[in-house]
Amino acid sequence: MRAYRFDSFEALENLRLREEADPQPQRGEVLVRVHAVSLNFRDIAMLRGRYPRPCFPGLIPTSDGAGEVVAVGEGVKAFKIGDRVVGAFHPRWFGGDMPSTIQSDSYGAESDGWLCELKVISQEAVVRLPDTLTYEEGAALPCAGVTAWTALTGPVPIRAGHSVLVQGSGGVSIFALQLARAVGARVIATTSSVAKAERLKALGATDVVNYVDEPDWGRRVRALTGGRGVDRVVEVGGPGTIGQSLRAVALGGEIASIGFLSTDNPGIDFFQLKTSGASFRNIAVGDRSALIDLNRTMSATGLKPVIDRSFAFDAAHEAFSYLETGTHFGKVVIRGPE
């Protein structure tokens, strides 16, 4: 098979395509022909030395993949040859508390990821891909989709009449917009692009705030809610946006902390945090059961992940470069070999 590996994280040119022996499934494992992988900001963060956890060179990158089962090991009962599957972001977090192996299991950072032709994986680390989704759409689910699902569903689920703030137009934010609208919640979005603002409204955003035109966008969001603030902030910016998120969130609301897209770090005002009256929840994507619930929701509602661009397997470098521009709207996908 062919597989991409990062020889080092010094430059994108160190992502090299190799010929390797085909893996064989052992007991309890399935062999998946990878038809699509999707990229996430974490893949760029590793390359640029911004990922907050250890990253080891020599591994196959990417955490999100979908494909077809082409062989099964002894004792496999959950899947058969021909089944369409999608991998869970955390291969050994099935539910409940995070396992102690959460870091060492991390695809692309401490274990081999999905940017390859064939992948052997435990039958417990994949779930069925809904019939309503293509492989490319399915590959968008494990990280961005599940993260948005986790941000909106617990511990107090977002429901009709609630308000949600999403930041920008990346994968997590778009999924959160779609899922929040599906349950009847109001969504306010931020962007710096007039064109993207129109696309966000077309997906159901009630209001869109341009954060370049209005740097104090948190106050603008609060004004749009009649001074109350939003019930949930899907916080993907991190240190550079948390101050405005605290201005935007309602008393008793929640900031679901997900990403660290911004490079600025002005620090957090403790008294602003304290007086906001909001809770702060750190999101680490989610467990396998969340992926199953998300799949069921996508099937029942007919929702489709928004795919910005799809690249050929041999154009993986171009896909990484495109993601890093930040001009995408939704997910960037790499197709498996033809």
Do residues 39 and 150 both lie within one domain?
Answer: no
59, 11: one domain: yes
Encoded tokens for 325? 């521009």
d(CA 255, CA 241): 11
For residue 287, being part of any structural domain is answered with: no
CA atoms within 13 A on the CB side of 279: 12
Residues 276, 179 share a domain: yes
pLDDT attached to residue 189: 98
Q: What is the pTM of this model?
A: 0.95
Residue 153 maps to a domain: yes
Looking at residue 126, its pLDDT comes to 98
Q: Which amino acid is at 220?
A: R
Same domain, 253 and 178: yes
- What pLDDT is recorded for position 266? 65
Residue 197 lies inside a defined structural domain of this protein:
yes
pLDDT for the residue 262: 65
Whether 224 maps to a domain, the answer reads yes
Q: What is the pLDDT of residue 261?
A: 64
- Asked whether residue 76 falls in the same domain as residue 190, the answer is no
**Matching residue, tokens 């680490």:** 284
pLDDT at 239: 86
DSSP assigned state of 28: T
Report the number of distinct structural domains present in the chain: 2
Of 282, 297, 316, the one marking the end of a domain is 282
Same domain, yes or no: 39 and 99: yes
In a domain, residue 299? The reply is no
Amino acid 283: pLDDT: 95
Domain of 66 in residue numbering reads as 2-140+305-335
pLDDT at 297: 97
Alpha-helical segments (H) within the chain: 41-47, 135-138, 146-153, 171-182, 194-202, 217-224, 242-248, 270-276, 288-301, 316-325
Whether 294 maps to a domain, the answer reads no
| Residue 90 included in any domain | yes
Judge if 11 and 77 occupy the same domain.
Answer: yes
The CATH number of whichever domain residue 319 belongs to comes to 3.90.180.10
Same domain assignment for residues 188 and 243: yes
| 132 and 205 share one domain | no
| Burial (0-12, 13-18, 19+ Cβ within 10 Å), 169 | buried
pLDDT tens over the chain, length 338 residues: 999 999 999 999 999 999 999 999 999 999 999 999 999 999 999 999 888 888 999 999 999 999 999 999 999 999 999 999 999 999 999 999 999 999 899 999 999 999 999 999 999 999 999 999 999 999 999 999 999 999 999 899 999 999 999 999 999 999 999 999 999 999 999 999 999 999 999 999 999 999 999 999 999 999 999 999 999 999 999 888 999 999 999 999 999 999 876 666 666 777 677 778 889 999 999 999 999 999 999 999 999 999 999 999 999 999 999 999 999 999 999 999 87
Please indicate, yes or no, whether residues 16 and 129 belong to a single structural domain of this protein: yes
In a domain, 297, yes or no: no
Residues 162 and 223 in one domain: yes
Cα distance between residue 71 and residue 110, in whole Å: 25
317 contacts: CB under 8 Å, gap ≥ 6: 12, 13, 15
Q: What is the pLDDT of residue 233?
A: 98
192 and 82 part of one domain: no
List phi, psi (to 5°) of 202.
-65, -30
Look up the CATH number of the domain holding residue 160.
3.40.50.720
